[in-house]
Every structure is written in structure tokens, then in C-alpha cells.
Amino acid sequence: MREIPDDAYWGAQTSRAVENYPISGERAHPEVIRAYARMKRACAETNREFGRLDEKKTGAIVAACDEILAGRHVEQFVVDVYQAGAGTSFHMNVNEVIAGRAAEILGSSRGDRSAVNPNDDVNLGQSTNDTFPTALHMAAIAVGRVLSLEIGRLVNSFQRKGEEFSGIVKSGRTHLMDAVPVTLGQEFRAFASALAHRRQVLDAALDGLLELALGGSAVGTGLNTPAGFREKAIARLSQLAGEAFRPAADPREALQSRAAAGDYSGALRSFAVELGRVANDLRLLASGPATGLDEIRLPAVQPGSSIMPGKVNPSLLECLNMLCFQIIGFDTANMLAVSGGQLDLNVMMPLMAYNLTRGPQLLINFLPVVRERCVDGITANREKCRHYLEESPSVITALTPKIGYAKAAEIFKESVARGVRVRQVLLEKKVVTEKELEEAMTPDALLGPLT
């Protein structure tokens, strides 16, 4: 006989999982819990339609699920995110909590399994085999949609900065060396475009998760479900979640393969790689102020040193880089989990469920901070941008059509060797007049046609 706390809706199966997996102390993401509550409600109503569950039990199960969807009973989901393969431990936790609360709603004690049974009633026509991959997809979509909105807001911030900095001509850099001029606005618009493209890839990968395994029961056979059960249950689930879910084309593949989850993980990794690159560029452009590029200034959010007075670091961007590294690490674990499936079921799903909700949630939490306290407050150091532009020998590229490549290269080498501006060498050698040089230094002359 197991001792169950008086305030627990769960029972013996959950108790065993708590004892067996005292690992991280982390619990399922709220969207995983909500996914299961929607699923259990949809299945209960579908079973009622088929005459397999009576009106009273169905009503109690639905009411318990609605309470969970309203944010109640979160403390009842006590199974660690690292648990038994396939998510059986968490699934039983869900079944027991809903059964316990449903029994209470019917006027019985929460431990009275004869009133509402976790297996025979709440789990009727279902298995961990089909419900956990369904919850995994649903939760990843729910969190991913929110992340997509946050990425869109960040893209808009970079786009606005691109417009604000559109008139600031500066030296471009390739190989970290001076290159032909660009505008600071063009660089920021490119940041916006890069993140927008990664967002499109993320959204497409999320849509790939709309195909659900629910109704496949054990091993994708649909065992213990009436014909038409999965179509009706998934239709109800679509209404509850506001998504266009559809039954898996092959119910056995839907249990064996987590390739769609792997695709989404890869899209998250790709976004993290690109976001980290942008963060690196911002840190480079803001480096200094005395010994770095100092072309932009980041808002100061905290002192940068305990020993150097007045030092300011790119603290938010450093944190953003670390989050990007973590998401890349999550993807490595996810790929191993996807490849770790064997025969008729991938049992590594709890790890994927954690990583595919936790990683995006980290970004959901922090991207608004980066946007509001960093990107939106970036200012341009116009003087430094102009200084580098005039100092860079690469501006001679704009004169190449007039003086020829060979002559331009000769002037460039002499400028570098003597440590003087290209302008000085050009005028000394009377290669161009001062008027011609001034005309060549205008934004229209320095920049190409692709604005």
C-alpha cells in the first residue's frame, strides 16, 4: 500500500515515477499539460459520442480538463521531465489527476477509482504510444507560435533601425578587412532580413507538426478504438486548440518516427545560429570605445566591471549568445533522440518534449528584453563611421572605372605603405582633381545601385 498525500489527485503510478526519477526537479512545460488536457477532453467527448462513456463521467472528465486549461492544478503534475521512456510516467500522472478531480466533481473522494478510473475511463481508447507524440507536437506548436511572434517583433526593430541609419555611409568589411562602403542602415536591414528568413523556416517546420498520432493507440494499430475515432477526436482537438490538426497519413510511422520534430529542432538551431551571428556583429560594431570599432553605441544596462570604473559591456548580447549556444545543444540531443527510435516506437520523446518547449521558451522570455533594452536603443556614432570611411583605402574602388584597376591598386598600396589617406596620394599625384574626388565621395557615387 502506497502513501499518497491527502491533497494529491494522483495515485500509485505517479508516486512510483516520483520515487524512480528524482532527477532535475523540472516539470513539464505548461503547454504540455494543456495539450494533454485538450486531448483527454476531446477523447472523452468522442467516446461519449460512440456510446463508450456515459454522460456523467464524460461531464466530470471534461470539467476537470477545463479546470486544468484554466490554469488550476498545475502543482499536481509532479513527474520529472527526465522519466520513463515514451512519457508513460507523465501520461499516467495526467490520467490519475483527471480521474481524481473528476471523481471529486461527481461527489466521490478523489482517490475513488471506481467513480472515474484513470485507465478505463480517462484513457479509454488511448495509449502513451499515440498520446505523448500528440502532446509533443501540440506543445511545440503552441510555444513555437508565440516565439514566431516575438521574432517578428525583433525583425521589425532591426528594420526600423535600418531606416533610421539609412543615410550613414561607412566602410564595409569582408574577411574583417576594409571593403567597399555600405550604409549602416543596409547592415541593419540585412540583420532584419536574415532573421525574417529563419522565421519563415520555423513557421514551415511548425506546420509539419500538425499531423498527429492520436487514435493510433498501441503500435499505431488503433486497437480498442471504434472506426472513425481518431478522425472525430482530432477534429475536436483542432477546435479546442485553434489549429488545423490532421490524422497521421500512416499511423505506424507517426509512432516510429519523430522526423517532423527533428525538422523543427533543426529550424530552431538554424535560427539560433543566425541570431547568434547577428549578436556577434552587434558586439563587434559596438566594441571599444577607444580601441574597438565604436560605430554603434548600445544602451548601458549595468556596470561592466567590478574593478574598472565606468566600463560598460554588451551584457544582453552576451546572454543572448549563450541562449543560442544552449538551443544548438538542445538540437544535438534532439537529433540523437530522433535517431534513437527503435522498431514500432520512439521512446526518447520526453527529452524532445522538454527541449522543444524549453528552448523556445528561453527565447520568448528574453527576446523582448533584447529588443526593448538593446536594439531599440542602439545609436549610431556618425563621426566614427565617417572617419573610418575616409581613412579606408577601399574607397578607391569607386574611382576604378575612372582611373583603372592597375592605377587604383598602385594608389592603394602606396596609401597603406605610407600610412596616409588615399585622398592625399590621389591629390599629390594629380590623379584626380579635388572636385572629382569630392564627387566620388558622395553616397550616390560610393554606393552601388542595390540600395
Give yes or no: residues 114 and 196 share one domain: no
Give yes or no: residues 54 and 144 share one domain: no
Task: Please say if 305 is a catalytic residue.
Answer: yes
Catalytic residue among 305, 306, 394, 415: 305
Give yes or no: residues 402 and 264 share one domain: no
Last residue of a domain, one of 327, 352, 382: 382
CB neighbours of residue 235 within 10 Å? 15
Share of the chain above pLDDT 70, in %: 99
Give the amino acid at 439.
Answer: E
User: Is 221 within a domain?
Assistant: no
- pLDDT, one tens digit per residue, over 392-413 is 777 788 788 888 999 888 988 8
DSSP 319-353: HHHHHHHHHHHHHHHHHHHHHT-BTTB---HHHHH
Residue 447: which of 395, 371, 387, 402 has the closest Cα? 395
**What's the DSSP call for residue 398?**
G
**What integer pLDDT is reported at residue 89 of this predicted model?**
97
Beta bridge partners of 172: 179
**What's the DSSP call for residue 121?**
I
pLDDT tens, position by position, for the chain (451 residues)? 688 998 999 999 999 999 999 999 999 999 999 999 999 999 999 999 999 999 999 999 999 999 999 999 999 999 999 999 999 999 999 999 999 999 999 999 998 999 999 999 999 999 999 999 999 999 999 999 999 999 999 999 999 999 999 999 999 999 999 888 999 999 999 999 999 999 999 999 999 999 999 999 999 999 999 999 999 999 999 999 999 999 999 999 999 999 999 999 999 999 999 999 999 999 999 999 999 999 999 999 877 667 877 788 899 999 999 999 999 999 999 999 999 999 999 999 999 999 999 999 999 999 999 999 999 999 999 999 999 988 877 778 878 888 899 988 898 888 888 988 888 888 898 888 888 888 777 777 777 777 7
Give yes or no: residues 433 and 344 share one domain: no
User: Is 234 within a domain?
Assistant: no
Report d(CA 440, CA 392) in Å as an integer: 14
Beta bridge partners of 211: 246
Residue 45: which of 23, 31, 66 has the closest Cα? 66
At a CB cut-off of 8 Å and minimum separation 6, what does 285 contact?
187, 293, 295, 296
Last residue of a domain, one of 331, 357, 382: 382
C-alpha cell at position 350? 520526453
CATH of the domain at 28: 1.10.275.10
**What integer pLDDT is reported at residue 1 of this predicted model?**
67
Report d(CA 423, CA 29) in Å as an integer: 61
User: Is 407 within a domain?
Assistant: yes
User: Is 88 within a domain?
Assistant: yes
Mean pLDDT of the chain: 94
Give yes or no: residues 180 and 103 share one domain: no
Q: By the 8 A CB rule, do 218 and 127 touch?
A: yes
Q: By the 8 A CB rule, do 217 and 130 touch?
A: yes
- pLDDT, one tens digit per residue, over 331-361 is 999 999 999 999 999 999 999 999 999 999 9
User: Is 243 within a domain?
Assistant: no
Give yes or no: residues 310 and 350 share one domain: yes
Give yes or no: residues 98 and 117 share one domain: yes
Give yes or no: residues 406 and 317 share one domain: no
Give yes or no: residues 108 and 138 share one domain: no
Report d(CA 155, CA 274) in Å as an integer: 12
Q: By the 8 A CB rule, do 353 and 32 touch?
A: yes
- pLDDT, one tens digit per residue, over 161-191 is 999 999 999 999 999 998 889 999 999 999 9
- pLDDT, one tens digit per residue, over 133-145 is 999 999 999 999 9
Last residue of a domain, one of 124, 151, 166: 124
Helix (H, G, I), strand (E, B) or coil at 119: helix
Give yes or no: residues 291 and 428 share one domain: no
User: Is 64 within a domain?
Assistant: yes
Give yes or no: residues 83 and 178 share one domain: no
Residue 93: which of 23, 45, 21 has the closest Cα? 21
CATH of the domain at 425: 1.10.40.30
**Residue 190: Cβ-neighbour burial (10 angstroms; 0-12, 13-18, 19+):** middle
pTM beyond cutoff 0.95: no
User: Is 343 within a domain?
Assistant: yes
DSSP 42-111: HHHHHHHHTTSS-HHHHHHHHHHHHHHHTTTTGGG----SS-SGGGHHHHHHHHHHHHHHHHHHTTS-TT
Beta bridge partners of 246: 211
**What integer pLDDT is reported at residue 129 of this predicted model?**
97
Q: How far apart are the first and last CA of the chain?
A: 75
Q: How many domains does the chain have?
A: 3
CB neighbours of residue 75 within 10 Å? 10
Q: By the 8 A CB rule, do 58 and 93 touch?
A: no
E-assigned strand segments in 264-322: 296-297
**What integer pLDDT is reported at residue 98 of this predicted model?**
98
Domain extent at residue 436: 392-446
CATH of the domain at 332: 1.20.200.10
User: Is 231 within a domain?
Assistant: no
Give yes or no: residues 181 and 305 share one domain: yes
Report d(CA 83, CA 128) in Å as an integer: 13
